[in-house]
Structure 1
Amino acid sequence: MKYKAKILIVEDQYMEANNLEVMLRRADYRVCTVARSVSAAVKIIEQEGPDLVLLDIQLKGRLNGIDLAKLLSRKNIAFIYLSGNSKQQFLDAAKITRPYGFLAKPYREKDILIMLEVALYAHQENLSLAKQRLDITADRNMGNPAFAGMIGQSDQIRALQQHMLRIASSDVSVMIFGESGTGKELIARHIHLLSTRARQLLICINCAALPPSLIESELFGHEKGAFTNALDKRIGRFEQADGGTIFLDEIGELPVDVQAKFLRVLQEKEIEVIGGKTKKVNVRVIAATNRNLQEDIIAGRFRADLYYRLNVFPLVSPPLRERKEDLPLLIDHFIAKISKVEGRSVTGISDVAMQEAMNYDWPGNIRELENLVHRSILLGTASIIPTFGHLPEPAGKTAIEKSHLRTIEEVERDHIIAVLEKCNWKVYGPGGAAEILGVKVPTLNSRLKKLNIEKVRVKSSDKGLRSHHKG
């Protein structure tokens, strides 16, 4: 029998650790001695040398999982966090340690195994990348047509280009994370141009712009007469991209039922045409989002298995406020480009205008910068832009930061309550909450107790039942 990687479980709850160990051994993973504390884990790491660690964030004792994560990072050992009743302050601190993923308790065996495969693959890619550092200089960028239009010399852009070059020749799925206006589609185009598929089509789709009733037909196609108003046969976008690359922007906007069919494309390399037969397709998938998909998974809006299939190699498109040293290059680029289109002879900006740009946070990112330069050229009469005028007051925080960022516990609690209310607080049996949530009754009862969810009858002025949070 061929065994897979060696996994260390660091978990102080006996039943949860035991269940994890059973799952891993059943999948032919080698399992180290289970560690109940950070000190025990350190000894086991030295003695048994795990390839990856499943690490509970909150452990009993003076040191927690985040403390151990720092040691794992120094030793180049991959790790995935196990999180249950974790507060936002713990999650924020955990993200800084750059884990290969989070598993929210209670977790399903399928999710654990998929995340392990993805994490181990990504870790090997990162180790290989570290050994083969590609020194991408500005001169080389300008000479490489694949990076034309990707302006910048900041550390963030250089690191991003290194990763793009590293993965371009592979057919691995790529997920691009980033705020609106940071150039996620441009990144996808460069990856395609650098790949062996460059001579084939790149099909770009904005999932948020597709009407829900037409999404499936748009992606997979339909036969004539397949449904009302299907007057002609339609070739879907996946079939159009056969042999090339498909870029799905705002992937988080796909309805859950379409996500299931998209998952089949990734797993089976085939599409199911509406009203027709299945067809094999050879397509490289690049997806992008500005949403928190892990929160969407917990809320039931995005499939965990699809997320892990797509997120084999994540890339981050940095916001403009985090790479302001690139502003002079970007402004010069847009001035040259827009002046040519508009027939103007603008050659640069004043020191005052540059200072204005450096002091602004650019919540709309590169798209906002380009629009501002365009407007300034159209309204100005001089050969340089003297000022950008009255810039909007910096919001101070992004839209995501402005909103209340709920903890995993809060999201899970609200989701469970919504399901309970939908089934009139029936916990077990056909149509009960346990069946809908896909968990065993004892597991659900345990979560109800852990999250302090109980059913109470509210005042007579309010009809029905509501949940009550003790605390």
Structure 2
Amino acid sequence: MKYKAKILIVEDQYIEANNLEVMLRRADYRVCTIARSVSAAVKVIEQESPDMVLLDIQLKGKLSGIDLAKLLSRKNIAFIFLSGNSKQEFLDAAKTTRPFGFLTKPFREKDILSMLEIALYAHRENLALTTQRLNSASGQAANSSLFPGMIGGSPQMQKLQQQMARIASSDISVLIVGESGTGKELIARNIHLLSAKARQSLISVNCAALPPTLIESELFGHEKGAFTGALDKRIGRFEQADGGTIFLDEIGELPIEVQAKFLRVLQEKEVEVIGGKTKKVNVRVIAATNRNLQEDIVSGKFRADLYYRLNVFPLVSPPLRERKEDLPLLVDHFIERLSKLEGSAVTGMSEQAMQELLNYDWPGNVRELENIVHRSILLATGPVINSIGDLRSYLPKAVGANNFMRTIEEVEREHIVAVLERCNWKVYGPGGAAEVLGIKVPTLNSRLKKLNIEKVRPNRSDKLPKV
């Protein structure tokens, strides 16, 4: 009989260990044995080299599951933690060992088998990536022409492009992690264009821009009369993307009650239409976030099972400050494109101006750079941009040595007000606050309303312009 994989169970609770063994054997996995301690597990690992280890964090004896996890990481053996303890210190220590998943006791058979399947797939993909490179034997760089709009030849960008090309042909879910302004949507678009679904639709959804009361209807659709105000039938975004790809930006903003229905799409390949029937969909899911979803799992804001379903293959979009060698290429690209857009004669940038850019840390990343270049083109008096000016003047006043005790909302509020003042309270359009902040107009309007910024508008009685 051919087994799916060879599994070692490291668990000192007799009943739980035996239940796990029964579940795994029933699902056609081969169980090496059940080890009750770290020392026993080490002997089995040396003899049998398991494909995966299900590992309890707290074990009897001097050594814990975390100690064994460090050994497994060195041997490149995948493992999933089993834990009945959700204390932050245990989770923090466990995360440093880079597990392929967490299962909290008591667990269901379906959850175990689902996570095991995902973890084994991800581990095999990682092993393939370490041995397979898109570069030829002569050491040529990855072909950047495969990735329209992705500018830069830094090691970080080459690694990212290699990973993108490696997974593009697969239908596995992808989670893109990175700071705001690093081009996560561009990465998603390029993965779609390289995939077998390239001729089908790519549907993009910004989860933060959709009101919580409407997001379920927007994603899954509703029938006419399904609820008050449902005057017409709506086709959800997942159904619109059927046969293609859906990109869910800012996935961390998805309400917890909607996450369960989203999980069903990933597991069962079907959507539950509000007031209607379930429908089968064939959709490749790419999600992105600038949040720490593992912290959100601990705080109860994000489902662990959904995270591990999405995180089959994580991609990191590097911040601009970590790849400054790409700045000249990016600047040339933006000058060429934006000069044509504005009908400007600007063709380049002086060494002094470039040095000013290189000396800056770019908290807003590539999006901020594009805005700065755009503004410099508009202000230039000749064919060369000679000076950028004090880039730090655009940073929020709240970010200073005396403001560390402020809340995030207070800092954000003051920053938005400062930008609005600099933009003469222009919200949208060229030179508007939305462009300077690097966010979409609906997102900015949502933040203005949430932070009650309209009421603090200085010395002005009229309201902010409506969009």
Q: TM-score, normalised to structure 1's length?
A: 0.74
Q: Once the 2 structures are TM-superposed, how far is the Cα of residue 97 of structure 1 from its aligned partner?
A: 4.6
User: Does structure 1 retain, via aligned residues, the 8 Å contact 2:160–2:315?
Assistant: yes
In the alignment, the residues of structure 1 paired with residue 321 and residue 92 of structure 2 have an alpha-carbon distance, to the nearest angstrom, of 20
Rate the CA distance shift 1:158–1:24 in 2: closer, same or farther, 3 A. Answer: farther
Gaps of 5+ in 2: 409-467
Residue aligning to 2:172? 172
Q: Is 1:141–2:143 an aligned residue pair?
A: yes
The residue that corresponds to 2:286 in the other structure is: 286
Give the equivalent residue in structure 2 for 1:25: 22
Question: Once the two structures are superposed, what CA deviation does each residue of 1:422-451 show, in whole Å capped at 9, x if it has no partner?
Answer: xxxxxxxxxxxxxxxxxxxxxxxxxxxxxx
Q: 1:236 to 1:347 in 2, by over 3 A?
A: same
Deviation at 1:385, TM superposition (A): 2.4
Structure-1 residue corresponding to 2:429: none
Give matches, 1:191-230, under 5 Å.
191-230=191-230
Q: SS of the counterpart of 1:208?
A: coil
Q: In structure 2, what residue type is equivalent to 1:167?
A: I
For 2:365 and 2:18, the matched residues in 1 are separated by 46
In 1, the alpha carbon distance for the partners of 2:280 and 2:57 equals: 43
Amino acid at match of 1:312: V
Equivalent residues of 1:9, 1:21 under 8 A apart? no
- CA drift at 1:248: 0.9
Tell me, yes or no, if the aligned pair for 1:25 and 1:31 is still in contact at 8 Å: no
Partner in structure 2 of residue 181 of structure 1: 181
Question: 1:409 is matched with which residue?
Answer: none
Q: Which residue does 1:416 correspond to in 2? A: none
8 Å Cα contact 1:24-1:30 kept in structure 2: no
Q: Specify the SS of the correspondent of 1:318.
A: coil
TM-superposed deviation, 1:93: 6.7
Show the counterpart of 2:440: none
Cα distance change on mapping 1:343 and 1:139 into 2, 3 Å: farther
The CA deviation string for residues 387-429 of structure 1, in whole angstroms up to 9 with x for no partner, is 32112269699xxxx999xxxxxxxxxxxxxxxxxxxxxxxxx
- Secondary structure in structure 1 of the residue aligned to 2:208: helix
* Distance (whole Å) between structure 2 residues aligned to residue 294 and residue 154 of structure 1: 28
Q: In the alignment, residue 345 of structure 2 is paired with which amino acid?
A: S
- Give the conservation status (yes or no) of the 8 Å contact 1:272–1:279: yes
Residues 21 and 31 in structure 1, CA contact (< 8 A), matched pair in contact too: no
- Cα distance in 2 between the residues matched to 1:332 and 1:104: 51
Cα distance change on mapping 1:67 and 1:331 into 2, 3 Å: farther
How do 1:174-323 residues align onto structure 2 when only pairs under 5 Å count?
174-323=174-323
For residues 49 and 349 of structure 1, do their structure 2 counterparts lie closer, same or farther at Cα, with a shift above 3 Å needed?
same
Distance, in Å, in 2 between the alignment partners of 1:91 and 1:382 is: 57
**Matched ranges for 1:119-138 at <5 A:** 119-135=119-135
Q: Deviations over 1:15-56 (max 9, x none)?
A: 3x7624532432224444555665544333111211123445
Report Cα offsets for 1:105-156 as digits up to 9, x if no partner.
Answer: 6766654443322111111112222332111888763432xx0101121222
Percent identity of the aligned residues? 75
Q: Does 1:360 align with 2:360?
A: yes
Find the aligned partners of 1:338 and 1:187 in 2 and give their Cα distance: 21
* Shift of residue 361, structure 1, vs aligned partner: 2.0
The residue aligned with 1:423 is: none
Check the 8 A contact 1:141/1:148 in 2, yes or no: no
Q: How far apart in 1 are the matches of 2:52 and 2:144?
A: 39
> Against the structure 1 CA distance between its residues 91 and 153, is the aligned structure 2 distance closer, same or farther, given a 3 Å change threshold?
farther
Specify the alignment match of 1:53 in structure 2. Answer: 53
Contact 2:142 2:161 survives alignment (8 Å) = no
Question: How far did residue 66 of structure 1 move?
Answer: 5.6
Matched residues in 2 for 1:242 and 1:18: separation? 44
Q: Which runs of 5+ in 1 are unaligned?
A: 405-471
3-state SS of 1:134 partner: coil
Q: 1:43 is matched with which residue? A: 43
Question: What is the DSSP-based 3-state SS (H/G/I as helix, E as strand, rest coil) of the residue aligned with 1:214?
Answer: helix
* Corresponding residue of 2:344: 344
Q: Is the CA contact (8 Å cut-off) linking 1:114 and 1:308 kept in structure 2?
A: no
Alignment of 1:449-460 (within 5 A): none
Q: Which amino acid aligns with 2:23?
A: R
Task: Give, in whole Å, the separation in 1 of the partners of 2:260 and 2:87.
Answer: 30
CA RMSD of aligned residues (A): 3.2
- Larger CA deviation: 100-109 vs 118-127: 100-109
